[in-house]
Structure 1
Amino acid sequence: MMEKSTAPGTPCGLTRRTALAAMTLAGMSATGLARAQAASDYPNKPIRVVVTFPPGGSADAVFRLLVPRLSEKLGQPVVVDNRPGAGGNVGMSLVAKSPSDGYTLGLGAAGALSANASLYDQMPFDVQRDLKPVAMLAGIPFVLVGHPSVEPRTLKALIDRARAAPDKLSIAHGGNGTAMHLSTALFMQMAGIKLVEIAYRGSGPAALDTLGGQVPLAIVDLPASLQQIQAGKLIPYAVTGTQRLPTLPDVPTMAEAGLPGYDSTGWFGIVAPAGTPDAIVARLNAEINAGLRDEQTRATMHTMGVAPAPGTPAQFASYIASETTKWANVIRTARIKLD
């Protein structure tokens, strides 16, 4: 016969296993109540946001636009903690290992949240397992530009030239493993061309050398190139997103210019440690989206070359998953590795 429980206070007839199960359920209920209470009191202390970029970049600058409003609406200081390194892995690893209480969040981009899983042999965290999407902030379309001396001037004709003479044209981008690098790889794969890639430390230096004629082509972000494009010092072939940009309405998308289906956009958003209560995530998402929909904030972001992208946590999670699959295929085909 099964041994009866002798635990104090256990009713007659309950087995030891039943008593243990009851105590476990009670503990789980207590934990759930504690988490619910914590969510209802949230926030009651400063919130740290680990930004996986150095100060001054587009993602850092965009989030800092939102900080005053978030601090006011949440009733607590929102503190930016810049932790760049390893394509975003340094900062995001810190977030993944933090308590899931909503007081440590992360600002990550396409690298750390999607592409790095394929770029690095060893990752210090798993996006699906260790992180919880909160809100996408913005997208950053890139632009394919050329020095004014480069002929021809249309994307289709440029592709034809590159096909006829593989490895004769050079193209600059913002660094190995960056979204601009992956955009370049996708461009070559879809166009069926081979260009000589030159990696720079950032979009600015890549645009500067293209401006000076040291390299004929580049895929760079808008903040690094818009002024030179408007001045006629850089020739824009196409933008990399699926829509034309308000600041460059006459520049076609890659798809319009001859590469149907091409879509490559840099992006970034807020994530929390896995296990963060849904109520906290919903509160943060609502306040972030309200900030992104503010007319003055949107106007400032557009002048910075970024497009606000408010949405739900589920939409952000779905986007991360689709981007992870997409870039895994591009990286595998291009044989790109950063380890």
Structure 2
Amino acid sequence: MTALPRGIRLAAVLLAGFFTAALPQAKAQELETGKTIRLIVGLSAGGGTDVTARLIAQQMSQNMGTPVVVENKAGGNFIPAAKEVLASPADGHTLYFISSSSLITQALHPDYPVDLLKFAAVAEVSTGPLILVAKNSLGVKSVKELIDLAKKNPGKLQFGAGGGIGSSLGFGIALLQNLANINISIVPYRGAGPALNDLLGGHIDAMVDAMPVMSIQAKEGKVTPLAVTGTKRAATLPNVPTMQELGFPTFVITGWYGILAPPGTPQSIVQKLSEEAAKAVKPADVVKTLGTQGMEPRGTKPEEFAKYMASELAFYSKIVKDANLKPE
């Protein structure tokens, strides 16, 4: 056999080394088949964020043939949850399932140690208003009656804030307090689930919550719905007015949910996850479930979600400044 010239042999060795080195990198551009995907939620189980995350996780698991599990890391103004994701490999197998609460927390805290805009945006999955409710035994049937009662009893009415003041739920209460010029007591909770339990048990008087859980409670007559925070009435509760209708034009809070990946996650993986998130909210049964919760499916592209988050952060930052809202 004729030996190859030395130069050709050297070139072949170099090319073989190049392709061998490139193989692990190419593999890292894709999700690892069968490896569990973790959805980190910064609130306790039972609230709107958790309920929606589990709905999406279940659907993604079915579609992808890969386990997608929800892990709750509640407390600390979402910082432990965010840091858990930041400390994980940027391989698409640890994701951050957030709500507008997470972004509002950043707007409320000038020294917040995490910038959500630096994460890799994957997709917004659903959107809807928040809802202001009172316990039935409080005896109020409207926002006006609630405000009048609060003014007659300064500092006595207790409002539960799922996730604390830094959440969208706590933000809604603080905004109501500021715009209506009332003095109320705000009771922080690690999530909306525990706050709801106390509301139903009569231990607190009112709360602002996301639609997925509270709209069902309202329809079943377990709480008294007073207003929603969107720009239009919720289809699932058409008789409940918006805060804008009631004379609060700047009282607009959207309760959306979305998925982020660690910074530096390969674009091919982000795109794949975004496509799977969009698929997860398309089935008729999922759309129906979201609808009964007062939510609308989204499934946006990464670049669209990134732009939306930036606009939302600017929007809430302006409200915080104009209303002079302070973190707890």
> TM-score of the superposition, structure 2-length normalised?
0.76
Q: 2:80 aligns with which of 84, 87, 90?
A: 90
Distance in 2 (CA, whole Å) between partners of 1:323 and 1:87 is 18
Q: Deviations over 1:252-311 (max 9, x none)?
A: 111122222421133321111112122221111111111112110121233345432321
> Deviation at 1:63?
2.7
> Deviation at 1:313?
1.3
Q: Deviations over 1:164-205 (max 9, x none)?
A: 76836625132422221101122233x341231331424455
Could you tell me which residue of structure 1 aligns to residue 131 of structure 2?
143
SS at match of 2:281: helix
Could you tell me which residue of structure 1 aligns to residue 11 of structure 2?
none
Show structure 2 runs of 5+ residues with no match.
Answer: 1-6, 8-17
Could you tell me which residue of structure 1 aligns to residue 92 of structure 2?
102
Change (3 A) 1:32 1:114: farther
Of 233-242 and 196-205, the range deviating more from structure 2 = 196-205
Could you tell me which residue of structure 1 aligns to residue 14 of structure 2?
none
Distance in 2 (CA, whole Å) between partners of 1:63 and 1:243 is 25
Q: Deviations over 1:6-54 (max 9, x none)?
A: xxx9xxxxxxxxxxxxxxxxx9xx9999755543x44435142242234
Letter in 2 for 1:302: G
SS at match of 1:334: coil
Q: 1:334 aligns with which of 290, 313, 325?
A: 325
Percent of residue pairs bearing the same amino acid type: 31
Q: 1:174 aligns with which of 161, 176, 201?
A: 161
Could you tell me which residue of structure 1 aligns to residue 274 of structure 2?
285
> TM-score of the superposition, structure 1-length normalised?
0.74
Change (3 A) 1:197 1:284: same
> Deviation at 1:86?
1.5
Distance in 1 (CA, whole Å) between partners of 2:87 and 2:220 is 47
Q: Does 1:51 align with 2:40?
A: yes
SS at match of 2:123: strand
Q: Deviations over 1:89-136 (max 9, x none)?
A: 21221212322222322212334344236337452x33233x111011
SS at match of 1:46: coil
Matching of residues 1-339 of structure 1 within 5 Å: 35=25, 38-39=28-29, 41-52=30-41, 53-116=43-106, 118-119=108-109, 121=111, 123=113, 125-129=114-118, 131-139=119-127, 141-147=129-135, 153-155=141-143, 161=148, 167=154, 170-175=157-162, 176=164, 177-189=166-178, 191-201=179-189, 202-204=191-193, 206-207=195-196, 216-222=205-211, 225-226=214-215, 229-230=218-219, 232=221, 234-331=223-320, 333-337=324-328
Distance in 2 (CA, whole Å) between partners of 1:148 and 1:45 is 48
Q: In 2, are the aligned partners of 1:147 and 1:216 still within 8 Å (CA)? A: yes
Distance in 2 (CA, whole Å) between partners of 1:98 and 1:331 is 32
Show structure 1 runs of 5+ residues with no match.
Answer: 1-8, 10-26
Q: In 2, are the aligned partners of 1:203 and 1:224 still within 8 Å (CA)? A: no
* Residue correspondences, number: 306
Q: Tell me the C-alpha RMSD between the 2 structures.
A: 3.6
